[in-house]
Structure 1
Amino acid sequence: MTKVRPKKYLGQHFLRDLRIAEKIAQSLTGHLDYQNILEVGPGMGVLTDFLMKEHPLINIYAVDVDKESIAFLNDRYGDRKGLEVIHGDFLRMNISDTIKDKVAIIGNFPYNISSQIFFKTLELKDQVPEVVCMLQKEVAERIVAKPGGKIYGILSVLLQAFYEVEYLFTVEPHVFHPPPKVKSAVIRLIRNSTSQLKCDEQLFKKVVKSGFQNRRKTLRNALKKINLPAEMEGLDVLGKRAEQLSVNDFIDLTFKLQSSWM
């Protein structure tokens, strides 16, 4: 089998360290009421091998947009029971058409689309109880950040509203081919008990995004485009900046805004 050539335009950096691949596969709990695992961007199957070893009773779907990777994986695995290799773009796929039941997501996420993958995951949150992924360390730190810091932002709030997030370990550049210019990190997301927010979810997203897109401004000024009702102008929370609000603070603020329009 001819090895797959990493493609810069796809953000491919193939993991070479088998110990780290095994550690990532072991980071997936495998016991949160799901019988399916979807691997995003399997490349040459380094992680796929350990997923089949660590979770032999769970169906694995390996999805890659790269035709060369798909050809390599089909040649390598053939009709391996419990593994389905799919040529497709995860961001464009209708996952529910392919996998009817709950599914965990795992993968070495391309740096250039990792945020988009998380936004897609949020759309699938009722079907995805767990995510384990490797991504740029800076993005990983943002996702697990707590209120009050400069790296706390949109992804922090939106993901933490529905998932318990955990930073697992750091990965150095030299274990990849080609080596990226930055460090990577592995994180785990476990679906929390929130089935539905007490406010409108789309409005919640709009409030969060508006607040952080103007993060130097107070929320009173950052949310002007949302047309804050006059009766809300005196709220103390509006004198704060977005980075000072917890997830629950954003939910409460959205609920008050929603209620004022009713």
Structure 2
Amino acid sequence: MASVKPKKHLGQHFLKDENIALKIVGALKNETNLPVLEIGPGTGVLTKYLIEKENQKFYALDVDTESIEYLKNTYPAHAEQFLFQDYLKYDVSLDRFNIIGNFPYNISSQLFFKIWDDRDKVDEVVCMIQKEVADRICEKEGSKTYGILSVLLQAFYEIEYLFKVPPGVFNPPPKVQSAVIRLKRNNVTQLSCDEKLFKRVVKAGFGKRRKTLRNALKDLNLPESVTSLEVMNQRAEQLSVQEFISLTEKIA
């Protein structure tokens, strides 16, 4: 493990607790035995347990050449499964797959936006992220932490907050608390509204979250038939996922 040094500019905090690693890997149900993509394998603390799962295809993506080289040397039989790739820019050729990982904390939100873009391919996600982001993703309407990712992800995934992880089990210890969550694709194949417009409305609404939707959505140049609606007197954090869908339908 000491042969891979954590790099601050990559937001790396390597998990060193084997029990937590086992819990994370065990939390990935993968009931349909889909290929698994590990994002940011680092020193391979999760990877070695993924390798032990027979008949489960997996690929590990990292932008750290030192990490990829270390994993290829440590597990030569699986060398071709360790890819020097950035998931944020990677066009995954698999039809459907699951994701697991200790997400780099400095890009965790970006990773979830990419997962949302890949929602028709990504069936299940188990990941460790900073607790603040985990709280935000799992939160329901009416909360100050409810936000863009809450709405977008909850529209297509059932989300579970699994457990918290203290800083001391990492090298180096992060300055924040961490948490593990699971996302499981729900039965919604397509929203009843324009999905690109839905994303735009949600982002605009929370972009000025202290304002009413009437003011927050001004840049969308909405007709009076929409701006006069009762819902426009509310703030974005007050709307449920379904209410955002209904509002998008009216705007379209």
Fold conserved between structures, TM > 0.5: yes
Match for residue 174 of structure 1? Answer: 168
Deviates more, 1:36-45 or 1:72-81: 72-81
Residues 167 and 178 in structure 2, CA contact (< 8 A), matched pair in contact too: yes
Question: What displacement does 1:3 show?
Answer: 1.3
In the aligned structure 2, how far is the partner of 1:246 from the partner of 1:233? 19
1:217 equivalenced with 2:211 (yes/no): yes
Q: After the TM superposition, list the runs of 4 or more consecutive aligned residues in structure 1 that deviate by more than 6 angstroms.
A: none
Match for residue 40 of structure 1? Answer: 39
| Alpha carbons of structure 1 residues 253 and 49: separation in structure 2 relative to 1, 3 Å | same
Match for residue 139 of structure 1? Answer: 133
Structure 2 gap ranges (5+): none
Secondary structure of residue in 2 paired with 1:129: strand
User: 1:190-201 maps to which residues of 2 (within 5 A)?
Assistant: 190-201=184-195
Correspondence for 1:229 among 178, 201, 223: 223
Question: What displacement does 1:34 show?
Answer: 4.2
Identity in percent: 58
Match for residue 143 of structure 2? Answer: 149
1:86 equivalenced with 2:83 (yes/no): yes
Question: What displacement does 1:2 show?
Answer: 5.8
In the aligned structure 2, how far is the partner of 1:102 from the partner of 1:205? 23
- Letter of the 1:164 counterpart: E
1:95 equivalenced with 2:92 (yes/no): yes
Residues 156 and 188 in structure 2, CA contact (< 8 A), matched pair in contact too: yes
Taking only aligned residues, the RMSD between alpha carbons, in angstroms, comes to: 1.3
Question: What displacement does 1:51 show?
Answer: 1.7
Question: What displacement does 1:52 show?
Answer: 2.3
Secondary structure of residue in 2 paired with 1:56: coil
Calculate the TM-score normalised by the size of structure 2: 0.97
| CA offset digits 1:30-75 (Å, max 9, x no partner) | 10x342000000011110111222x321101011110000110000
In the aligned structure 2, how far is the partner of 1:253 from the partner of 1:140? 26
1:16 equivalenced with 2:16 (yes/no): yes
Secondary structure of residue in 2 paired with 1:237: helix
| Alpha carbons of structure 1 residues 34 and 102: separation in structure 2 relative to 1, 3 Å | farther
Match for residue 107 of structure 1? Answer: 101
Match for residue 60 of structure 2? Answer: 62
- Letter of the 2:38 counterpart: E
Residues 167 and 188 in structure 1, CA contact (< 8 A), matched pair in contact too: yes
- Letter of the 2:190 counterpart: Q
Structure 1 gap ranges (5+): none
Match for residue 251 of structure 2? Answer: 257
Calculate the TM-score normalised by the size of structure 1: 0.94
Correspondence for 2:74 among 68, 73, 76: 76
